[in-house]
Amino acid sequence: MIYQVIDSRNFGGIESHILQLACLLQRHNYPVTIVFMRHYNLTHPLRQQAESAKIPVLTTAQLPSFYHLKQGDILHGHGYKASLFVRSYGLFSRAKVITTFHAGEIATGKVAFYEWINRSSAFLSKNIVISQAIGQKISTRYDYWHNFISLPKLPSKLAKPNKIMNVAFVGRLEQVKGFDRFCVIANTLPQYQFHVFGDGVLHELIPQHIHYHGMVSAMDSYWSQLDVLLIPSRAEGLPMAAIEAMANRVIVIATDVGDLAKLLEPEFLVPNSNWQQLSVLLNLLNKLSQCEWQKICDDNYYKIQRDYSEQQALKQLKLTYGVC
Q: What is the pLDDT of residue 62?
A: 84
Given a contact cutoff of 8 angstroms between Cβ atoms, the answer to whether 134 and 101 are in contact is yes
pLDDT for 155 equals 58
Q: 166-307 belongs to which CATH class?
A: alpha beta
Secondary-structure breakdown of the chain: helix, strand, coil percentages, each rounded to the nearest 5 = 40, 20, 40
Q: For the chain, where do the domains classified as CATH 3.40.50.2000 start and end?
A: 2-150+309-321, 166-307
Across 193-276, where does the E strand assignment appear? 193-197, 211-214, 228-231, 251-255, 269-270
Q: Which residues of the chain have pLDDT under 70?
A: 66-67, 104-105, 107, 153-162, 324
Instruction: Give the pLDDT of residue 170.
Output: 97
72-76 contacts, C-beta under 8 A, 24 or more apart: 73/1, 73/2, 73/3, 74/1, 74/2, 74/3, 74/98, 74/321, 75/3, 75/5, 76/2, 76/3, 76/4, 76/5, 76/100
Q: Per-residue pLDDT tens for 263-308?
A: 999 999 999 999 999 999 999 999 999 999 999 999 999 999 999 9
Residues 5 and 35: beta-carbon distance below 8 Å: yes
Predicted TM-score (pTM) of this structure: 0.84
Please count the other Cβ atoms lying within 10 Å of the Cβ belonging to residue 72.
13
Measured in whole angstroms, how far is the alpha carbon of residue 148 from the centre of its chain? 9
Region 2-150+309-321: CATH code: 3.40.50.2000
- Distances in Å between the Cα of 61 and the Cα atoms of 3, 93, 163 are 13, 16, 53
Which pLDDT does position 312 carry in this prediction? Answer: 83
DSSP structure class, residue 11: -
Q: 173-187: per-residue pLDDT in tens?
A: 999 999 999 999 999
Torsion sign (Cα): 182, 185, 190, 191: negative
pLDDT at 136: 82
Residue 98 phi/psi, 5-degree rounding, is: -130, 140
